[in-house]
Structure 1
Amino acid sequence: MLDDMRQAKRPVSVALTGPYGHPFHPILVTVPIGAWLASVVFDIGSHIADEPVFLARGAQWLIAIGVLGALAAAAVGFLDLFAIPTGTPAFRIGLVHMGLNLAVTAAFALDFWWRASATGVEGAVPTGPLTLSIIAVAALALSGYLGGELAYHYGVRVADETTQAAGYRR
């Protein structure tokens, strides 16, 4: 069991996933999360503002930025998943986390296409794309919870307790 825990804390590739105790995945996920949350705020704002087109177009750009950022985060996260021993609760949570994130990314890619194909629509974001964005953000929240479970409960890619304790020595 201790060997499994040590394996889940070590990177598959330092150059690609970050050094021991400093994984790249958590910092990369801030791009899609922030972009997609902001896109929903822009979507809602497009229903309130006097000039909704600016916010609707901004939301579409934020969705595109989020999809691109998610692809980068997914590549690194996939490599982190390889560090977790198969057949463990942490690995199963990692698979669900990955599956949800891929579904969310696909939903936002579809959302971007849906908006882009709605030529001639000038005004607030239509109800369909807005609803899709809200559902995708809800799934993203669940996936984020699972990612936190991996890091904070199971310690995946987190430095071991002896390394952590060094920060509290006087």
Structure 2
Amino acid sequence: MRAPWLLRVVERLPLDEIVDVFHAPLRGFLARHPRVRRALDGSWLGHPLHPALIPLPIGAFTTGLVLDAATLFGCPWAARGADLAFTIGLVAAVPAVLAGLTEWSYLEGTPRRVAFVHAASNVASTQMMVGSVILRAMDLRGAAMVVSTLGFVVLGVGAWLGGELAFHYGAGVGRISEDRGNTDR
């Protein structure tokens, strides 16, 4: 099966030098701290931890978006819920990011580059969500809603790339079962 055009574009991006700047130190840190690596890679769980953590921030951001839409249709009570949902999403994103970085440390070649773009789009989305929460605190709800909607679109691109990593490249698939016999973890 041929990869979608966007994936083919991402695969060809000349990112190896930039990726190495981040990948090598992360891999070194995790090699020096195997307990941290084990806690974040999900080997204790029996499968990668990152996919188990991402539904909470994505679900919270989705809830915030739906509640924002409800405020546009005359439900003033939904505004406070949207603010809370976006804040919960940001808090929940922290462990998902840490687990994702750990999972990324195992990747090589093209999947590593694709995962870098996946992470970069999620960082951009998270920054937009932070901006939205700040705008909400400043009582600039309309601007906050625009920024969080744009952040949600960017999050969708990152999520799609994450799906491609799992289903097109098999990132993380089988890694835990292969590692179960390894006692240095």
Q: TM-score range by the shorter chain?
A: 0.7 to 0.9
Shift of 1:15: 2.4
Shift of 1:21: 5.8
Identity of aligned residues (%): 32
Q: 1:12-31: per-residue Cα shift (whole Å, max 9, x none)?
A: 73322202861110111101
Amino acid at match of 2:59: G
Maintained 8 Å contact 1:21/1:158: no
* Structure 2 counterpart of 1:102: 123
Structure 1 runs of 4+ with >6 Å offset: none
2: CA distance, partners of 1:27 / 1:65:
16
1: CA distance, partners of 2:130 / 2:143:
14
Which secondary structure does the structure 2 equivalent of 1:41 belong to? helix
- TM-score w.r.t. length of structure 2: 0.71
* Structure 2 counterpart of 1:14: 38
Point out where structure 1 has 5 or more consecutive residues left out of the alignment.
Answer: 1-11, 164-170
Which secondary structure does the structure 2 equivalent of 1:68 belong to? helix
1: CA distance, partners of 2:46 / 2:119:
21
The structure with the largest alpha-carbon Rg is 1
2: CA distance, partners of 1:45 / 1:18:
37
* Structure 2 counterpart of 1:8: none
Count residues in correspondence: 142
Q: CA RMSD in A?
A: 2.1
2: CA distance, partners of 1:32 / 1:131:
19
Range that drifts further, 17-26 or 133-142 = 17-26
Q: 1:6-57: per-residue Cα shift (whole Å, max 9, x none)?
A: xxxxxx73322202861110111101100001101000100113x41x2111
Q: Which of 46, 49, 71 is matched with 1:46 structurally? A: 71
Maintained 8 Å contact 1:114/1:129: yes
* Structure 2 counterpart of 1:140: 155
